[in-house]
Amino acid sequence: MKQIVSFFAPHPHLEKGSPARLQAQMALFVPLIALFLYFLPELWFSLAEGRTGPTLLLLTGTIATLVAFFLARTLAYRLGIGILLGVWWFNMILDVVGEPGTLTGLSEFFWMIFGLLMGLMLLTPQVYAIYALAGGMVLAIDWLFVPHTQEAFSLHSTRLFMYISAATLLGLANYFYYRSYRERYLAQKEITSQREYLQVLLDSLQSPFYVIDPHTYQIRFANQAARALGIDTGREVFTCYRLTHRRETPCSGLEHPCPLQHVINGKAPYTVEHIHYKPDGSTYYAEVHGYPVFDAAGNVVAMIEYSIDITERKRAEEKIRKLEKAVEYAASGVVITDTEGTIEYANPVIQRMTGYTLGELLGQNPRLLKSGKTPREVYADLWSTIKRGDVWQGELINRRKDGSLYYEFQTIAPVRNERGEITNFVAIKLDVTRQKELEENLRAEKERAEAASRFKSRLLANVSHDMRTPLGAIIGYGEMLVDGVFGNLSEEQKEKIREMVNSAERLNAFITNLLHQAELESGKLRLNPRPFAPAELFKVLSSSLALAKWKGLEVITEIDPSLPPTLKGDLYWMQQILTNLLDNAIKYTEKGQVWVRLRRMNETHWAMEVQDTGIGIPPEKHEAIFEAFTQAEDSHQYYGSGLGLAIVRQLVEEMHGRILLESTPGKGSTFTVVFPIEGENHAA
Amino acid sequence: MPREILLVEDDPHQAEIFSFALGQTGLIVHHLKDGAEVLPFLKEHAPELVVLDLHLPNLRGDKILQALRANPATANCKVILATADPRLADRLQDQADLVLLKPISYQQLKELAKRLLAD
């Protein structure tokens, strides 16, 4: 079936309406007419002559011609033509052979073969003309040179005349019709292809392009990109404002001025930025270009509108504008130079910082600000760093336009283009003059404070030294007086002198505590841990022991044999702690004993313990006594600084120890200071 | 050879008190005010006990102590340091037999000197 269809299908060459197709049709039509003109008289003559054979052939030929006519639009027409011509020529052969004395039998046979071949080809009018001419010549030869009967002769004459006339007329008609048709066809073809070409060109524009009627705002012509925005030219007429703005009225106002109005009024191209809608409802920034189209009289008869999506550009511009604002209003100075250092931009801060106006700075080199106070090496380092492509940070001493100096802290970074080449340098500058001054002031202030502190320390040390020496005389002479070195005194005199000596001792203790307190509070306590033998702790106890003896107390010292042979810690401060505790014990103990023990608590800790048989401390006071300027209640008869235990606790904590207190009022107290055994679990 | 004690102290009141306290031991007490005099004195004498103030004119007590310990003749004699400077005393306590912080009690010095000499 398919084969049949393709057999009957139009020949691929024969484009509908093309001259080639017309040619083919005419090639069929002309011989058809000619054959009818030929066959019909021939048939009439054959019947008149009573020759049935040729008559049948002619009938067959007529039918074949008719069939060929109906199939002419297909390839099959060639066969039809072939059969037709074959019959025609066979008829001629019979016609000629039937006559005696034929000259041209062979030639006619040849022409028959030629005709068959022609019939199988696509016949052109030219070929047909040659063919018709040749056929006419054969007939003419037959007529002129073949002897015929009178009757046959006249018959031949008629046939020849009819044939030549018909062939010539049809050939001419064919030729002229074909020519005019071809011209019209080609012209039409040209127009169509031009229009198509134009459409292709405009469709190739990726942005919307359309032509607007200046009176109705209707879009008359649009490219693919414009149609994609929603124009369905087939069904409804779009206006430009409906297409891109979803409006029902033309654009207006400052936000969206109508380009058409501007183009009509100005008779010149106009460009404007609009926000356009896409079919999905989203918007984009469009740069709309309107171009007027004039008629011969110079009136605007149309406007071409071409719009470009500039959303990306707008975003970039927006970003640039934001950055520009940021730079402009930044608290830091910003300078942009080219690679040679020529200033291309300076923000307002720079103008305030340097005193130069923008006009004075642009095109200048920053060396304009050089004061000569910045070391040459700084500039060398700066340039080598940024030329290398690294970021430089540093401080320059620059000079303002008014001649004053200022400190400038700056960060300079190179800016590279897409090829990685350095094109510019950006410098962020901070005027740090004020900070510099403040720093300077602070440093001076700190130095003053430190000097004052040093002076205070020295003063305290000197004062204490100079107070202790006379105290020595008071205590010493007092004791000698009591001892009867300078003669016997009454008991009352001795008692008063003892009081005097006690007061001097307390004054001394107060001075010592004051110095310790000052040292602790200044935060300058520097521990110097070193190994020492436990007995060394008792080396400085002597004066306390003497005091105890003076008061008639017994002081018993014990060293636990299980203690390590050497302990580690700051011996000086440990002695101060022990002295303080012992002094305290003696101070608050009128009679009895005071024990001083060094003992091992456990594997990791050892302790100094001072136990007395004194007035004791009530439990609720246990915490308070470790605070500065606190003393046991009802102890107004004992003068003291109140600094002792506060210092002890502070020292113990500084040395990573703990202080424990057990006390029964009226019975006595035990202070225990626990320290880690050095090297076993911890470094003090 | 009589038993001797050397007292080096520049303050006259202190010197008087210390001399008296040390005298109670029954030994002869020599008193020097000037640090520079100490070393020449020691060439002639061999005191059993030296009581040394640290703030002395011309030659400081710590220097004297150093020289004293360096000399084999005096290296073993007992030394009591008497000072008002606890820091300095702390640094020198290894070299001394006893460190006393001023003000020093007459009674105390008397007892301690006796005890030290008895050892």
Give per-residue pLDDT as tens, A583-609.
888 878 888 889 999 999 888 899 999
> Residue B2: pLDDT band by 50, 70, 90 thresholds?
confident
Checking phi first, is residue A569 left (phi over 0); if not, alpha (psi -120 to 50) or beta?
Answer: left
Q: Tokens standing for A363?
A: 């095109």
pTM strictly above 0.95: no
- Nearest chain B residue to A538, by CA: B98
- H helices, E strands: number in chain A: 19, 17
pLDDT at A636 over 60: no
Nearest-Cα distance to chain B for A461, in Å, is 8
Nearest-Cα distance to chain A for B44, in Å, is 30
A111 closest CA partner among A97, A96, A93: A93
Query: Which residues from A are below 8 Å from B99, CB to CB?
Result: 539-540
Query: Which residues from B are below 8 Å from A549, CB to CB?
Result: 107-108, 111
Interface touch A549/B108, C-beta < 8 Å: yes
Nearest-Cα distance to chain A for B3, in Å, is 23
SS3 of residue A559 by DSSP: strand
Q: CA A427, CA A423: separation in Å to the nearest integer? A: 14
pLDDT at A495 over 50: yes
Interface touch B13/A473, C-beta < 8 Å: yes
Q: Which of A120-134, A584-598, B14-28 has the highest mean pLDDT?
A: B14-28
Amino acid present at A600: R
Q: Tokens standing for A171?
A: 């050939």
Q: Which residues of B touch A (CB under 8 A)?
A: 11, 13-14, 16-18, 20-21, 55, 84-87, 89-90, 93, 98-108, 111-112
**Tens digit of each residue's pLDDT (9 = 90 or more) over A498-535:** 888 888 887 887 787 777 777 777 666 777 788 888 88
Spatial contact of A88 and A35, defined as CB atoms under 8 Å apart: yes
Neighbours of A420 (CB within 10 A): 7
For A571-592, letters b (16+ CB in 10 Å) and e give bbbbbbbbbbbbbbbbbbbeee
pLDDT of residue A681: 42
DSSP string, chain B: ---EEEEE-S-HHHHHHHHHHHHTTTSEEEEES-GGGHHHHHHH---SEEEEESS-SSS-HHHHHHHHHHSTTTTTSEEEEEES-HHHHHHHTTTSSEEEESS--HHHHHHHHHHHHH-
Neighbours of A33 (CB within 10 A): 17
Amino acid present at A181: Y
Q: Tokens standing for A567?
A: 């302990």
Neighbours of A491 (CB within 10 A): 7
Q: Determine phi and psi for A628, rounding to 5 degrees.
A: -60, 145
**Tens digit of each residue's pLDDT (9 = 90 or more) over B39-71:** 899 888 889 999 998 888 777 888 888 888 888
Pick from A348-352, A363-367, A592-596, A679-683: least confident: A679-683
Neighbours of A523 (CB within 10 A): 7
pLDDT of residue A424: 93
Q: Determine phi and psi for A671, rounding to 5 degrees.
A: -100, 130
pLDDT at A674 over 90: yes
Average pLDDT value for chain A? 77
**Tens digit of each residue's pLDDT (9 = 90 or more) over A393-404:** 999 999 999 999
Maximum pairwise Cα distance, chain B: 37
B42 closest CA partner among B13, B69, B62, B19: B69
A239 DSSP 8-state letter: B
Those residues whose C-beta lies under 8 Å from the C-beta of residue A164, and which sit 6 or more positions away, are A136, A139
**Tens digit of each residue's pLDDT (9 = 90 or more) over A428-470:** 999 998 888 999 999 999 999 888 878 887 787 777 778 888 8
Q: What would the mean pLDDT of A135-162 be, rounded to a whole number?
A: 61
Query: Which residues from A are below 8 Å from B108, CB to CB?
Result: 542-543, 545-547, 549
Spatial contact of A178 and A277, defined as CB atoms under 8 Å apart: no
A281 by Cβ neighbours in 10 Å (0-12 / 13-18 / 19+) ranks as exposed
Q: What would the mean pLDDT of A111-136 be, rounded to a whole number?
A: 52
pLDDT of residue A25: 63
A203 closest CA partner among A226, A219, A220: A226
Q: Tokens standing for B15?
A: 């010197």
pLDDT of residue A145: 64
- Nearest chain B residue to A550, by CA: B107
Spatial contact of A112 and A96, defined as CB atoms under 8 Å apart: no
- Nearest chain A residue to B54, by CA: A465
Q: Determine phi and psi for B88, rounding to 5 degrees.
A: -65, -40
SS3 of residue A302 by DSSP: strand
Can the peptide bond before residue B47 be classed as cis, meaning omega within 30 degrees of 0? no
Query: Which residues from A are below 8 Å from B111, CB to CB?
Result: 546, 549
**Tens digit of each residue's pLDDT (9 = 90 or more) over A288-318:** 999 999 999 989 999 999 999 999 999 999 8
CA angle A56, A61, A67 (to 5 degrees): 130
pLDDT of residue B48: 92
Q: Which of B20, B84, B105 sits opposite A543 (nearest CB)?
A: B105
Those residues whose C-beta lies under 8 Å from the C-beta of residue A329, and which sit 6 or more positions away, are none
Pairing type for strands A605-612 and A593-600 reads: antiparallel
CA distances from A452 to A261, A330, A338, A374 (A): 85, 43, 53, 34
Q: Which of A461, A480, A543 sits opposite B101 (nearest CB)?
A: A543
Those residues whose C-beta lies under 8 Å from the C-beta of residue A496, and which sit 6 or more positions away, are none
Query: Which residues from A are below 8 Å from B14, CB to CB?
Result: 469, 472-473, 476
Spatial contact of A397 and A405, defined as CB atoms under 8 Å apart: yes
Q: What would the mean pLDDT of A100-118 be, rounded to a whole number?
A: 45
**Tens digit of each residue's pLDDT (9 = 90 or more) over A519-575:** 777 666 777 788 888 888 887 665 666 667 667 788 888 899 998 888 888 888 888
User: Which run of H or of E encompasses A414?
Assistant: strand A405-416
Interface touch B93/A540, C-beta < 8 Å: yes
Spatial contact of B104 and A550, defined as CB atoms under 8 Å apart: no
Count CB pairs under 8 A between chains A and B: 98
pLDDT at A345 over 70: yes
Mutate which of A467, A469, A575 to disrupt the B interface (most B C-beta within 10 Å)? A469
Q: CA B15, CA B29: separation in Å to the nearest integer? A: 11
Q: Determine phi and psi for A246, rounding to 5 degrees.
A: 60, 30
User: Half-sphere exposure of A246 toward its Cβ, with a 13 Å CA cutoff?
Assistant: 9
Q: What would the mean pLDDT of A98-126 be, rounded to a whole number?
A: 46
Quickly tell me which residue has 């020295």 as its tokens: A458
Q: Which of B13, B18, B103 sits opposite A504 (nearest CB)?
A: B103
Neighbours of A162 (CB within 10 A): 16
